[in-house]
Amino acid sequence: MGLRPNQVLNGAKGCYRLTRLLKGGHGSTVFKAEILPEHGHSDPAKSIVIKTTSPERKQWLKREYDAYNIPGVSSSPFCRKMCDIIGNLEDFDNTGESTPCLVFEWLDCTLKEIPSEQHRQNHGLLAALAEAILSSLVPLGKEHKVHTGRAPAHSSILSLLSCSDIQWNNILVSDLNDAHPTVKIGDLGLGYKEQRTQPFAMRATENWEGHGCFHRSDVWSGAVTLLDWIKPGIFGIRDIMDGIWPEPWCIAKLMRLFPDWHGSPVDHEVYRDDFLLDRLLTKEVDPDAPETMLIKTRTLDEELQTMNISKELVDWFRSVLVVDPNKRPSAAEALRSPEYKALPEKAGFASVEKVGADLESLTVR
């Protein structure tokens, strides 16, 4: 569906006028829109988000629609609310040019737009971020789905529906200056891929090894997203040297952060080669400064000590950033942990109670 500013669209529940293009080009098209109150929309909000995509990619949008209709997702206060649909559901399944639009609630900004330098001691925001990241993953864990991922590289059974990648742009915030800001996770359901998923910085160790992306992989990704917002560059390719492939660079940084992790890649030449190269990079000196290593990343504990964050947040990062996915907590387990409970206590507000208490422990193999 071709969209333009000032265009008026009729949904099942209301009428909307597009006001500003938020994202265009390849992939999704996203507009901010205003609700036209004269059409009797019951939502008290004035602004919403309208999202569509090209006809050849509408099955991705259908997966997002399906993800938001999971009962635990649609009822979660930590997942962005899907408010309406514009167009016909049947258009998702046909080969025509018509593509429906999804209507979502509006939040003030993304985490990317919030300067971490001014908020790394904002205990209310940090606790709300950890709360929303973990709590949004609980209903997906119950459905044996992940927020971002794929089935293992060596498996033909794509039973794990991949959603989108947890990253700065998909963590949405309103009421930033309140004692307990509103934080929600968006962009569910973008679909699985037959290659490694998750952004370079947020990719879990088991995903690098080629084993796949699972519920606990999202727990890792969520924690790294928050850590990377506070101090960009600890993970990922922000500091990559010219002429070096990003995959071995990222793996080598992980080995510097977690010296006891050596990786167990699947029996596939791509994964074996990446781990062979990364072991060479961890020992390489900087040609411009021979007295230093090429990769400057220190251990996780050393990096955390340089970040000017609370002891409670340091302890929480340590508790969830566990390289062995079988020992890493699930989202529900992390919410019940003393390390997590210390965050809202530090901020002075009550957190969710017994979220996912009945969630069975999920394994990654």
- Return the CATH number at 211: 1.10.510.10
pTM value is 0.86
Residue 364 resides in a domain:
no
- Count of structural domains, the chain: 2
Cα torsion 124, 127, 131, 133 to 10°: value is: 110
Buried b (16+ CB within 10 A) or exposed e, 175-196: ebeeebbbbbbbbbbbbbeeeb
Question: What token pair was written down for 344?
Answer: 């809202």
pLDDT value at residue 183:
97
Residue 235 and residue 161 share a domain: yes
pLDDT value at residue 41:
53
Q: For tokens 């995903």, name the residue.
A: 207
Residue 115 and residue 98 share a domain: no
In whole angstroms, give the CA distance from residue 100 to residue 82.
13
Residue 353 resides in a domain:
no
pLDDT, mean of each 10-residue run, the chain (365 residues): 88 94 86 83 76 88 89 93 93 83 96 95 96 93 61 36 67 95 85 61 92 90 96 93 89 93 86 79 80 87 96 98 96 96 92 46 35
Residue 80 and residue 191 share a domain: no
pLDDT value at residue 360:
39
Residue 285 and residue 229 share a domain: yes
Residue 187 resides in a domain:
yes
Q: CB-based burial of residue 148 (10 Å sphere; 0-12 exposed, 13-18 middle, 19+ buried)?
A: buried
- SS3 at position 3: coil
In whole angstroms, give the CA distance from residue 165 to residue 144.
16
pLDDT value at residue 361:
39
Residue 362 resides in a domain:
no
CB atoms < 10 A from the CB of 62, how many? 20
Q: For tokens 């992390």, name the residue.
A: 334
Residue 288 and residue 316 share a domain: yes
pLDDT value at residue 20:
95
Residue 361 resides in a domain:
no
In whole angstroms, give the CA distance from residue 289 to residue 279.
20
Q: What is the DSSP letter of 142?
A: H
Question: What token pair was written down for 330?
Answer: 């699930």
Residue 114 and residue 101 share a domain: no
Residue 290 and residue 241 share a domain: yes
- The boundaries of the domain holding residue 98 are 8-106
User: Residue 64: which CATH number?
Assistant: 3.30.200.20
pLDDT value at residue 42:
56
The residues near 276 (Cβ < 8 Å, ≥ 6 apart) are none
Residue type present at position 182: T
Residue 357 resides in a domain:
no
Residue 158 resides in a domain:
yes
